[in-house]
Structure 1
Amino acid sequence: MRYNLKSNIILSVLLACTMAFASCSGVKGLAKPDLQMPSAFMDSPTTDSLSIADMDWWEFFTDEPLREIIMRTLENNRDMLKAQARVDELRALYGVEKVNMLPEITGTVGADHETNNYHGDGVDKDPEFDLKLSVGWEINLWGALTWARRQSKAKYVATVEDMRAMRMTLISQVASAYFRLIALDNELEIVRQTLLTRQESLEQARLRFEGGLTSETVYQQAKVEYATTASLVPNLESEINKARNAITLLMGEYPEKEIRRSALSLYENLPERLPVGVPSSLLQRRPDLRRAQQNLEAAMADVGLKYANRFPNLKISLSGGLENDELSTFFKSPWTYVGGNIAGPIFDFGRRKKKYEASKAAYEQARYSYEQAVISAFTEVSNAVVDYQKAHESALLKSELCDAATKYVQLAHVQYRGGSLNYIDVLDAQRRFFDARIGLSNALRNEYLAIVNLYKALGGGLDPSPKSTAHSTSPTH
Structure 2
Amino acid sequence: MKKQILYTLCLAVMMSSCHIYKKYNRPENINVSGLYRDTQSVSDTLVSDTANMGNLPWDQVFTDPYLQELINKGLENNSDLKTAALQVKEAEAMLLSARLAYAPSLNLAPQGTISSFDKSPITKTYQLPVVASWEIDFFGKLLNSKRAAQNTLMKSETYRQVVQTQLIAAIANTYYTLLMLDEQLTITEETSEKWKETVETMKAMKPAGMVNEAAISQSEANSYMIAATIPDLKMQIRETENALSLLLGQIPQTIKRGNIVEQNFPEEMDAGVPVQLLANRPDVKAAELTLAGCYYNTNEARSAFYPSINISGNGMWTNTATGLGVFNPGKLILSAVGSLTQPLFNRGANIARLRVAKAQQEEALIAFQQSILNAGSEVSNALTQYKTAEDKSVQRSMQINSLEKSVEYTKELLILGTSSSTYLEVLTAQQSLLSAQLSQVSDSFQRMQAIVNLYHALGGGR
TM-score normalised by length of structure 2: 0.90
Q: Cα distance, 1:13 vs. partner?
A: 4.5
1:206 match: 203
**164, 186, 189: which is aligned to 1:189?**
186
Q: CA deviation at 1:197?
A: 0.9
Distance (whole Å) between structure 2 residues aligned to residue 158 and residue 452 of structure 1: 25
The Cα of 1:269 is off from its aligned counterpart by: 8.5
2:315 aligned to which of 308, 320, 325: 320
Choose which of 12, 17, 30 in structure 2 pairs with 1:24.
17
Alignment equivalent of 2:227, drawn from 221, 226, 230: 230
| Contact 1:322 1:331 survives alignment (8 Å) | no
1:77 maps to 78
Unaligned runs of 5+ in 1: 1-7, 463-477
State the match for 1:417 in structure 2. 415
Judge conservation of contact 1:46–1:276 (CA < 8 Å) in 2: no
In the superposition, relative to structure 1, how do residues 31 and 232 fare at CA in structure 2: closer, same or farther (>3 Å)?
Answer: closer
Give the structure 2 partner of residue 145 of structure 1. 142
Give % identity. 25
How far 1:290 sits from its partner (Å)? Answer: 0.8
Of residues 297, 313, 317, the one that matches 1:302 is 297
Q: Map 1:81-120 onto structure 2 (within 5 A).
A: 81-115=82-116, 117=117
Distance 1:330 1:293, change over 3 A: farther
Which letter does structure 2 place at the counterpart of 1:401? Q
Aligned to 1:341: 339
Where structure 2 has 5 or more consecutive residues not aligned to the other structure, the ranges are 40-45, 322-326
Moved more, 345-354 or 78-87: 345-354
The corresponding residue for 2:8 is 15
Choose from 373, 383, 386 the match for 1:385: 383
Q: Which amino acid aligns with 2:98?
A: E
Instruction: Tell which deviates more after alignment, 412-421 or 208-217.
Output: 208-217
CA contact (8 A) 1:313 1:343 kept: yes
Structure 1 residue 433 displacement after superposition: 1.1
Displacement of 1:96 in angstroms is: 0.5
Identify if the C-alpha distance between structure 1 residues 424 and 87 changes in structure 2 by more than 3 Å, giving closer, same or farther: same
Query: Conserved in 1, the CA contact under 8 Å of 2:187 and 2:438?
Result: yes
Letter in 1 for 2:106: I
1:235-268: per-residue Cα shift (whole Å, max 9, x none)?
Answer: 1111001111110000111100x21101112x97
Change (3 A) 1:81 1:31: closer
* Partner amino acid, structure 1, of 2:383: V
Which residue is 2:237 aligned to?
Answer: 240
| TM-score (norm. length: structure 1) | 0.88
Q: Flag the 1:103–1:11 CA change in 2: closer, same or farther, 3 A.
A: farther
d(CA) in 2 for partners of 1:317, 1:349: 26
Match of 2:353 in 1: 355
Q: Could you tell me which residue of structure 1 aligns to residue 129 of structure 2?
A: 132
Query: 1:58 corresponds to which residue?
Result: 59
Correspondence list, 1:234-313, <5 A? 234-256=231-253, 258-265=254-261, 274-313=269-308
Q: Deviations over 1:333-379 (max 9, x none)?
A: 11212112212322225221221122112111111111111122112
Distance 1:292 1:97 in 2: 22
More divergent stretch after superposition (87-96 vs 344-353): 344-353
* Structure 1 residue 314, shift from structure 2 partner: 0.9
Q: Which amino acid is 1:259 matched to?
A: I
Q: State the number of aligned residues.
A: 447
Letter of the 1:361 counterpart: A
Q: Which residue does 1:432 correspond to in 2? A: 432
